[in-house]
Structure 1
């Protein structure tokens, strides 16, 4: 359990199992600490992110939050080893567990979208599938030169509906369809050209500093006005998108029951090509 944040503007550091939380005056940084799994979204990491956001929501001194990762990958998406574990359960228990996993992830994205303070994603390395969705759930994305963005669930026999919905909301259905159906990745420069980044990509050693610059700039407005503006963008304009997230979670869970999902997950874990891949 994360320690309680105290109302102090001074630097304080808190640690969770897969997430580090650091506050420094009006800025806070949440750092995904799961490099050995490339930042994959295990149930524990999802819970840590929920908890970290809840703590920062309550801290009146924090005005903006940066989301980063300690590894060479920003976030590799769903933890396919967890999905494989669910597939090993008795058949009558599997669907409930898949629905629970995707429901919690959908709720995490919605928590990001409803979070009242600016969220800046500092993306270094790949942001894959659900990891891409996490970045899209933030208000601003800063990326390093080596960042890539992909929505390749179909390549594993899965349905990345949450990522597709967020990508459609942020950049339009044309890009969402192209990325979701092919699984092809965007380079950082291509993501910037598509309007997903707030500025051209930077060198990896400048990533956090650049994210801090944007976070600081986002504290210049009135907190009440910023919260109302975020609500207008993500909840009023994005009302349909929020509805789509819940439906997409259900579709993604159902897709996990298919034979192709099992084949895709097993192929990935065995570092092999799935049987349907056109070579």
Structure 2
């Protein structure tokens, strides 16, 4: 059985599942390499308009595999120091690959998201959680730093600096109810309805203009890095003009409202 599964549960919606439930979908290299490849493959799939990511079994991702992590590819002849660098670069590239996916990525957090698993969840564009979801920046508990795979960048932007400092420095668990309250997830739903809620959201997104959705995703992430409001507003304006002037989407939206029907965006 492959460690990463790709399915099409609904039209234009692709599901990627980390499929090593006996290890709580830990970040072994034989899981993370095909996961990165799956992200790149789905990003190139022009039939896919939104992506859902989840974990098999009772957990989303338990972070580093402390028992059988395996070895990254292409390390023959390298010293331990260089192997360590290659390993971290490979895992960093997984987070970057999630950010580079053209389509919006929705994380279905179906259970614990620990350490690197918490980082993966934060790299998604949208997070929905089951009632059994749990988040922990586990590095600090293991005598390491809690900063890994972009966590110290992503978490303060998701929930604010003070909360991020407290969670990362204390190494405590954040349950689903608190995660929703502080904005770590968009909302919490019963576990048996989690994927359905994600698919419903993905289908809604898929019904809009492709360039409109993709440019909105880019603008939102760009806004988190913007050096000034003026600079970011200029970029937003260019994106809006691009879609307005190069498609008939706006005219179709107006016509659809007048005719009391859903719009059919042809881009």
TM-score range, shorter chain: 0.7 to 0.9
For residue 190 of structure 1, what is the aligned residue in structure 2?
A: 178
Per-residue Cα deviation, 1:14-56 (whole angstroms, up to 9, x for no partner) = x7x3100002420000011011111111112111111111111
The worse-fitting range, judged by mean Cα deviation, of 132-141 and 210-219 is 210-219
Describe the SS at the equivalent of 2:67.
Answer: helix
Separation of aligned partners in 1, 2:96 and 2:222: 10
Separation of aligned partners in 1, 2:224 and 2:152: 17
The reply on whether 1:234 has 2:192 as its aligned counterpart is no
Separation of aligned partners in 2, 1:131 and 1:72: 13
> Which consecutive unaligned segments of at least 5 residues does structure 2 have?
73-77, 228-267
Q: Return structure 1 stretches of 4+ with deviation > 6 angstroms.
A: 83-86
> Which consecutive unaligned segments of at least 5 residues does structure 1 have?
1-14, 87-91, 241-279
Distance 1:206 1:133, change over 3 A: same
TM-score normalised to structure 2 length: 0.77
Greater relative contact order (CA < 8 Å, ≥ 6 in sequence): 1
Separation of aligned partners in 1, 2:226 and 2:27: 25
* Greater radius of gyration (CA): 2
For residue 271 of structure 1, what is the aligned residue in structure 2?
A: none
Is residue 157–residue 224 contact of structure 2 (8 Å, CA) maintained in 1? no
For residue 241 of structure 2, what is the aligned residue in structure 1?
A: none
For residue 130 of structure 2, what is the aligned residue in structure 1?
A: 144
For residue 113 of structure 2, what is the aligned residue in structure 1?
A: 127
Q: CA RMSD in A?
A: 2.2
Q: 1:174 aligns with which of 162, 168, 184?
A: 162
Is residue 114–residue 230 contact of structure 1 (8 Å, CA) maintained in 2? no
TM-score normalised to structure 1 length: 0.73
Per-residue Cα deviation, 1:199-218 (whole angstroms, up to 9, x for no partner) = 2x111111111111111122
For residue 258 of structure 1, what is the aligned residue in structure 2?
A: none
Q: How many pairs are equivalent? A: 220
